[in-house]
Chain A
Amino acid sequence: MSPAVTALTLLSPLTGLLVAGILVPLLLALYFLKLRRRSLPVPTTLLWKRSVEDMRANTPFQRLRPSLLLVLQLLLLAFVAFALMQPRMDLGAAGGGRTVILVDRSGSMNATDLDARRTRLEIAKEQARDRVAKLFDVGLFAPAPGEVMVVAFADSAEVLQPFTRSKADVLRAIDRIQPTDGASRVRDALALARAFTTVTNPDDPNAKPTMGAALELWSDGRIADLGEDALRPGEELIYRMTGRADARNAGIEGISAERSATEPGLMQVFVTLRNDAPEPIETDLELLVDGTRRSVTPKPVSIPAAAETVAEGKKQYRPGTARFTFPPFVQPRAGTVGVQVVRADALPADNVATVAVSAPRRLRVAMVGALDFAVRDVVAALPVEKAVAVSAADFAAGGVKAAEQYDVVVAAAGALPDALPAGRYLVFGVPKGVSGLNPFATKEKLGVRTERREHPLLRAVNLDDLFVARATAIAPGTDTEAIVEAGETPLVVLARRGPVTAVVVAFDPLDSNWPFQRGFVTFMANAVEWLGAMDQAAAQEEHHPGDVLTARVATGVRAATVTLPDGSTQEVTPRDGAVAFGPVQRAGTYAIRWPGERGEERRTYAVNPADGEGRIGAAESVSIGVQQVSGVSGGGAALSDLWPWALACSLVLLVVEWWVYHRKHWIRRTPARAASALPGAPIIRGS
């Protein structure tokens, strides 16, 4: 038996039994009346047979005579045909079961293509409120209101209201939905909804959980992971299309800012522009520094049109993109650098992208312990402010303060204390102070099997020819990131333990051929730069809604203040020398401030809208699993099946038709016609 059959639910079995109990015997009785022919002797069947043949042998088409039976039968057929079409209509009917209201609050729902003064999300909330009002209306077609749940989702899902029969609670939950600039991901929302809709029978541990709910999705349909899911038995997805399919948008896909390596006071800004319109557009760009317009592009930037291509039988959408680099400009201070598209469209949020830049500062690097010459020479050659060799004893004696003096500590594993002070470390060998590495043996003759080429540590690093003669085999825990792995053990891992971040190289470079390769130098530079930049608000790390903003603060800092893009502030409490805030919901500039030794310290974060939200043209249908669900406009519709009513009408018509038919043939007590017995003939007629 298929799951769909087991999930069959009879919403009103009593009504069905009542109708069947009345109509079926009545119909059968009528059929019995019809089928039982009475035997009647007649003088001759000659004329009767001839009459029947005459009736049948008439031409196939004859003049249509008005007949009540004909009208009734036509009506009956019309109702049956209507029922077969499975009509649905907004009758304000509550489903009687469970309804999950899923509201997309991603960045694209902030578009104002439907109404210039209201965003899609505001319209969706209004429609959802109307829908809830109808779901809780009790009328002829809704004997009892069902339960309603409210879930809002973007990067993550949030249950704003578990299943309830309280209309007021549901409406309040809908009102609490706030917009975000995040991406559309519905998987968490579906998982949450299913967690509530799955009902298990506690009395019967062997019973299968029963599920079933109508999922009403208010969205523009641009949901990245909807196709990866599938409807389960009993579930029904109603996609309430919110937005126009032909809505067009152009915006900034990405932004980055870099200081010149030779002149740190000079900064360059790079932007990637995106066009979702089917025709190319041209737009001016403004460069904003701390919110003030610094420059404008000398001529409009052209962005090609978006296109849909068909590859391997599937349509692939490719937005038009263009890259633009602003000329270097002097920015000796920390601050925010932004780019604005000077062009009005339905989604203003992605017309501005901002990055926070720190003041130009060179790194201070400490070399702790007996590092081999290869490491020492490479570190000394890096463009850092200073690279100081510190003995293991001095580093251990300095404790936390010693670590705070340096941005990056390059150390041999044996030179580090058992309890590592907060800081960022590049360690050769396996240090005891980093938990979760679990060294267990020494492995020899290792080659690289896998590597995470996309990681900043391995940028432009080729490890194909790396051969390691001897390395410490470790079994890192799940919270440790393996960057380079040999067959039997990771060779380079990244471990984060609160305020401690360590890049651990599990072998001595001199036990390998790495120092003789160009990739070693590049790796060292990447590691020092990446570890050092972790503390800076450098533009290299771009934030998006859903991210958690963190800042490293000195131990002893009790409170920090977060300034949100709208100017409001929130107090947060640092823990273990770090401040964490988020996940952030809206795009814009965030700032974390905390008291430091030299006065108030501040770190600025630029949060830009999520990728992929720039395509705001609403999808006319969505795919969930293999099922295609067409969007319905408006949110007030409470679709009810009309086919049972049509079927009931046809049954009633059938009974009426039978009644009329038999009434025509009831024996009427009419006086016998004595005269003119034959057509046109007297009672006695002769030649």
Chain B
Amino acid sequence: MSTYFQDQPKPKRPTRVDELVGNALLAKIGQLDIVSRKIFSGKLQGERRSKRRGQSVEFADFRPYVHGDDLRFVDWNIFGRLDRLFLKIFLEEEDLSLVIAVDTSGSMDWGDPSKLLFAQRLAMTLGYIGLVNHHRVSLAAFGGAGGLRRLNNLRGRRKASEMGKWLLDLEPGGADTFEESMKTLALSRQGRGVMIVVSDFLLKDGYEKGLRYVAGRGYDLWCIQTLCPQELDPAAHGLAGDYRLVDAEDRDEAEVTASPALVEQYRANLGAWCAGLRDFAIRRSMMHLVVDTSTEMDALVLEWMRRRGLVR
């Protein structure tokens, strides 16, 4: 049974990168790659197919030669047979921009396992996949004590350590700045790619405005909603009786008598909240996942995310 409701000390936070993602998991995810449902043009030649036709070895199509085309791509065999000039078009392989935005607001520093810890581990795992596939990985932390913090343009496996330390340094707390952070991220976009927002999305001002900034602006957007078991089923984790609930972010208080009926109503409201986010995501071609923080990272990445198409 979870003991979070029993006023016990919070679990110790990780201090080393390998506590975020273990070697065994690294070995498993080394073969994975981030999949974008859209094909974007990159800035550098990379290992990813680009929308632009280019110089890769992957044949895409033919087209008639027009004046000015590079004669190196003329298919001479066809010229020999048909006496007409056709140009071979190849898919150009480019790098992918992967942006991982982690919610570090006060509400994330709660639960057993902690939602923030889970978000850090998830960001580390996905970021590592991006790095090993030579994608341009950017990290952002919003809602924390220092406002929006960013770590931009990491490439290559060697940057994994830097990324891990940056994640370890994230301090939770502070008010919700979701809308402002999303706006900033959208305006400072560098290239197109995949954006993953890891948050509990329990935002009093709502998530809609913030997500609208980043939806459809060159990002294949994934909303990963992390909820801890205590949030998902409070009664099973000892929430019963009379409480004065204190909001972790704004210290707002709510006096409740956690009767079975009230807890059931809470669960219904939580379900409705998640369903609302899912509907919002579907309407804007976003992906939405509700993840229990007690879920093993192996199972999440190797099974669920692969099944959902984020990685392959």
Residue ranges of A at the interface with B (Cβ–Cβ < 8 Å):
34, 36-52, 54-55, 664-667, 669-674, 677-681, 683-687
Contact = CB atoms under 8 A, between A and B. Distances in A.
Given A43-B107, A46-B202, A664-B259, 16 more contacts: A36-B242, A41-B248, A43-B200, A44-B247, A44-B249, A48-B245, A48-B256, A51-B262, A667-B240, A669-B1, A681-B290, A683-B292, A684-B289, A684-B290, A686-B278, A686-B289
**Nearest 9 A-B pairs (CB), nearest first?**
A677-B232, A43-B107, A686-B289, A687-B288, A45-B254, A51-B265, A665-B240, A51-B266, A44-B202
Given A38-B242, A51-B269, A672-B2, A665 B259 contact: yes
B178 to A, nearest CB: 12
Given A46-B202, A48-B254, A672-B229, A681 B241 contact: no
B202 A685 contact: no
A41 B112 CA distance: 13
18 contacts: A37-B255, A40-B5, A40-B244, A42-B245, A42-B247, A43-B231, A44-B248, A45-B253, A47-B269, A51-B265, A51-B268, A55-B265, A672-B2, A672-B229, A679-B267, A685-B274, A686-B278, A686-B289
Interface in B245-290: 245-249, 252-256, 258-262, 265-271, 273-274, 278-279, 281-282, 286-290
A45 B236 contact: no
Given A38-B243, A45-B247, A47-B269, A52 B254 contact: yes
Given A51-B266, A683-B295, A678 B274 contact: yes
Indicate the member of B243, B248, B254, B292 with the most A CB atoms within 10 Å.
B254
A657 to B, nearest CB: 15
B298 interface: no
Contacts of A674: 229, 294
A670 B202 CA distance: 27
A415 B249 CA distance: 129
A677 B293 CA distance: 12
Contacts of B147: none
B90 interface: no
A686 B290 contact: yes
B289 A685 contact: yes
Contacts of A50: 269
A667 B268 CA distance: 22
Interface string B27-61: 00000000000000000000000000000000000
A291 to B, nearest CB: 92
B213 interface: no
B265 A41 contact: no
B238 interface: yes
A684 B259 CA distance: 27
Nearest to A667: B238
Given A39-B244, A44-B248, A672-B1, A684 B254 contact: no
Contacts of B127: none
Contact of B246 (A39, A669, A677, A680): A39
B290 A678 contact: yes
B166 interface: no
Given A38-B243, A42-B248, A47 B273 contact: yes
Contacts of A40: 5, 7, 239, 243-246
Given A51-B266, A678-B267, A45 B261 contact: no
Contact of B287 (A51, A55, A677, A686): A686
Contacts of A51: 256, 262, 265-266, 268-269
B300 interface: yes
A47 B270 contact: yes
B253 to A, nearest CB: 7
Nearest to A670: B236
Contacts of B236: 670-673
B291 interface: yes
B237 interface: yes
Given A39-B244, A679-B271, A49 B290 contact: no
Contact of A672 (B111, B237, B261, B286): B237
Interface of B: 1-2, 5, 7, 106-108, 110-111, 115, 200, 202, 204, 227, 229, 231-233, 236-249, 252-256, 258-262, 265-271, 273-274, 278-279, 281-282, 286-292, 294-295, 300, 304, 308
A123 B133 CA distance: 114
Contacts of A678: 232, 267, 270-271, 274, 290
Contacts of A55: 261-262, 265
Nearest to A680: B271
A516 B180 CA distance: 135
B248 A43 contact: yes
A43 B289 contact: no
A48 B240 contact: no
Nearest to B2: A672
A55 B268 CA distance: 12
B202 A38 contact: no
Given A39-B246, A667-B240, A687 B262 contact: no
Contact of A666 (B240, B258, B274): B240
Contact of B110 (A38, A43, A52, A671): A43
A348 B247 CA distance: 94
Nearest to A49: B254
B246 A46 contact: no
Contacts of B255: 37
A664 B115 CA distance: 30
Contacts of B231: 43
A469 B177 CA distance: 128
A685 B278 contact: yes
B292 A37 contact: no
Contacts of B308: 686
Contacts of B282: 687
Contacts of A665: 240-241, 258-259
Contacts of A47: 202, 266, 269-270, 273
A52 B261 CA distance: 10
Contacts of A46: 202, 204, 247
B64 to A, nearest CB: 43
A385 B5 CA distance: 125
Contacts of A679: 267-268, 271
Contacts of B248: 41-44
Given A684-B292, A686-B308, A677 B242 contact: no
B25 to A, nearest CB: 17
A44 to B, nearest CB: 4
A583 to B, nearest CB: 79
Contacts of B1: 669-672
A665 B281 CA distance: 38
A121 B286 CA distance: 101
Contacts of A681: 271, 274, 290
Contacts of B286: 687
A92 B90 CA distance: 111
A677 B233 contact: yes
Given A687-B278, A687-B281, A38 B233 contact: no
Contacts of B242: 34, 36-38
A43 B238 contact: no
B241 A43 contact: no
Contacts of B288: 686-687
A51 B108 CA distance: 21
A409 B255 CA distance: 110
A55 B227 CA distance: 24
B158 to A, nearest CB: 32
A333 to B, nearest CB: 103
Indicate the member of A43, A665, A671 with the most B CB atoms within 10 Å.
A43
Indicate the member of A55, A678, A681, A683 with the most B CB atoms within 10 Å.
A678
A41 B110 contact: yes
Contacts of A684: 289-292, 295, 300, 304
Contacts of B262: 51-52, 55
Nearest to B245: A42
A45 B253 CA distance: 7
Nearest to A43: B107
